[in-house]
Structure 1
Amino acid sequence: MIAADETFRGTFPFAPRYSSAPGFRMHYVDEGAGPVLLCLHGEPTWGYLFRDVVRRFAGTHRLVVPDHMGFGKSETPADRSYRLQDHVDNLEALILDLDLDDITLVMHDFGGPVGMGFAARHPDRVARVVAVNGPTPFGQPGLAKALQDNGNEAPWFRWIARADRSGTLENVLGELNYTILSTLKLNGFENNDIISETWIEAYGAPFPTPAASRGAIGWAKGFATGAHVFEAPGDAARAKMAKVPALAIWGSADRTLGGKYFLPLFKDAFPHGTITELPGVGHYSLEDAPDKVAALLREFLDATTPAIMGA
């Protein structure tokens, strides 16, 4: 767990806030005022991934950026499983604790399944959806095949399966403090110009020991063992979410989550949604192309806010 007051030389200058509602100290950023943008990170990142979004949009929106259990400045309890369903439970507890409504979900990587899990439970609290290289599983019949086909192709998921079989997964991911850059590169990080000692330190800091790496280990192992359970929405939730404004921004150079597998699932969940693919941009599109992502997000928010306000 990163110290509450750590700013990484001013690159993450946001006041730390904590909620105990999920049963542990869950850290979140809460900056700005206005319509809520709830930004959900994935593996093996934390709220630092959205620092540019917070800076750009806090003048017009309320940015709430939680760190999932075992990541960033949140605690890493030893008695939790770190399965997908646990992360959905934690997010639900935080959102209800803060009483967030009219939420725009901005989801990256496994933030997608976590956010969509919340949407399945509370569709009336979700106003818009933005998937940034983040899958949007929502009870689609093609989900299992997409996961299998993507897993057979992606280097990250092939390594997870092999490492779990050989018993080395925990040992390798327990050293993320030292191997964070190679892990990010394996997943498809393209923008080498942004790499600095501070940047590497910020992404490696949540994982100083194997015990502190339970979050990253648990998420990977859950896929290797099939322990993750995707939330199944009811018919009313599916019908409601099919009508919300939705945007998918997908870096086409993603080596972990192939757009050809997951963008059809997005279109199934959001038949009126818009898809923009970014050539040459990798899995961490918020790092690879922050200007492009911000421009697309701003355009989407500007275009859809009046319709929501008049609904």
Structure 2
Amino acid sequence: MMIDFVPDESLYPFESRWFDSSAGRLHYIDEGTGSALLFCHGSPTWSFLYRHIVKGLRDRYRCIAVDYLGFGLSERPQSFGYTIAEHTTVLGELIDHLRLDGFILMGQDWGGPIGLGAASMRADRVRGIVLGNTVFWPIEPLANRAFSAIMSSRPMQRRILEQNLLVEQFLLGKLGPTLTLAEADHYRMAQPTREARRGLAVMPNEIRVARPLLERLAQDVPALLGDKPTLAVWGMKDMVFRPKACISRIRASFTDLDVVELPQARHFIQEDAPDQITSAIANRFP
């Protein structure tokens, strides 16, 4: 199924583009010219999350932001499993389709492992990396694993599917970013029905189920990408991926790393601190 939703051009002033992957029809935007920046979102968001950053950088870079299958304006294929491994494969197909070479990858939340998984298999084509509030190693903290177990239970799966719980409570709730009503509705309307939210419902369980993939990334990323110029932009008030532990792990994995702390930003850094992120990327990759 496809989503019957057209974003407001005043909020999302981009041309929609489409790629027929091996698993389904993928939506993405491709704005500007110059070195390619590939933006990878997490859950429960879509490429709308990067709108301010794309607008701020498209005069200097080629800005590509993708919606994974099951998210945003992309297709919801019945036969797709919506696992991190499957999203990684489809993203790799898009990178190859666009013939990206010398590209800079930005990943936040699940966009980190999805993007790094695709990039590590194409390391010779990667110019640099931007990581924000993400991990590429097994997720061990008890709070994260408890969240995974609770959200994967039958009652909570029902609430995710029927009440759009992940969007309404974790993105648009009290601890989420400050958004206008129109902006909030763009996140709601990208996940409008129970059937449309099937991919969203899979993600919490992946915190535990994707462990083998994350174990492999913990080895591959330092080995294959560890010498790439890297920027970490971190929301220091994030309760999902704690800054101290995560940044130290990233420091140990990359030899050419700059860290920019975002003191007031929480998990959804692209909403909380887009101007700071835009400036940090432009300064790191002139």
Q: Structure 1 length normalisation: TM-score?
A: 0.84
1:90 CA drift (Å)? 0.4
Aligned to 2:161: 174
Q: Structure 1 residue 255 and structure 2 residue 239: aligned?
A: yes
What is the alpha-carbon distance in structure 1 between the residues aligned to residue 210 and residue 107 of structure 2? 22
Cα separation, partners in 2 of 1:180 and 1:174, compared to 1, 3 Å: same
What is the alpha-carbon distance in structure 2 between the residues aligned to residue 174 and residue 296 of structure 1? 37
SS at match of 1:174: helix
Aligned to 1:242: 226
1:292 CA drift (Å)? 1.5
What is the alpha-carbon distance in structure 1 between the residues aligned to residue 20 and residue 131 of structure 2? 27
Q: Structure 1 residue 289 and structure 2 residue 279: aligned?
A: no
1:169 CA drift (Å)? 2.9
Cα separation, partners in 2 of 1:286 and 1:187, compared to 1, 3 Å: farther
Cα separation, partners in 2 of 1:201 and 1:9, compared to 1, 3 Å: farther
SS at match of 2:233: strand
SS at match of 1:232: helix
What is the alpha-carbon distance in structure 2 between the residues aligned to residue 39 and residue 105 of structure 1? 6
Aligned to 2:65: 65
Residues 151, 205 of structure 2: 8 Å contact kept: no
Residues 27, 74 of structure 2: 8 Å contact kept: yes
Residues 254, 283 of structure 1: 8 Å contact kept: yes
1:38-64 per-position Cα deviation (integer Å, ceiling 9, x unaligned): 000000000000111111111111111
Q: Structure 1 residue 101 and structure 2 residue 63: aligned?
A: no
Runs of 5+ consecutive residues of structure 2 not aligned to the other structure: none
SS at match of 1:13: coil
1:2 CA drift (Å)? 3.6
Aligned to 1:275: 259
Residues 206, 213 of structure 1: 8 Å contact kept: no
What is the alpha-carbon distance in structure 1 between the residues aligned to residue 150 and residue 223 of structure 2? 39
Question: What is the correspondence of 1:152-171 to structure 2 with a 5 Å cutoff?
Answer: 152-154=142-144, 157-164=145-152, 166-171=153-158
Aligned to 1:265: 249
Runs of 5+ consecutive residues of structure 1 not aligned to the other structure: 138-142, 303-311
What is the alpha-carbon distance in structure 2 between the residues aligned to residue 234 and residue 254 of structure 1? 22
Letter of the aligned partner of 1:213 in structure 2?
R
1:183-241 per-position Cα deviation (integer Å, ceiling 9, x unaligned): 2156952x42xx22211110111211221101211111222545772373698974442
Letter of the aligned partner of 1:116 in structure 2?
L
Match of 2:181 among 170, 194, 197: 197
What is the alpha-carbon distance in structure 2 between the residues aligned to residue 132 and residue 226 of structure 1? 20
1:131-150 per-position Cα deviation (integer Å, ceiling 9, x unaligned): 12122x2xxxxx33xx112x
Residues 32, 60 of structure 2: 8 Å contact kept: yes
What is the alpha-carbon distance in structure 2 between the residues aligned to residue 250 and residue 204 of structure 1? 26
Residues 47, 72 of structure 2: 8 Å contact kept: yes
Aligned to 1:81: 81
Q: Structure 2 length normalisation: TM-score?
A: 0.91
Letter of the aligned partner of 1:218 in structure 2?
V
Cα separation, partners in 2 of 1:133 and 1:234, compared to 1, 3 Å: closer
Aligned to 2:50: 50
Number of corresponding residues: 285
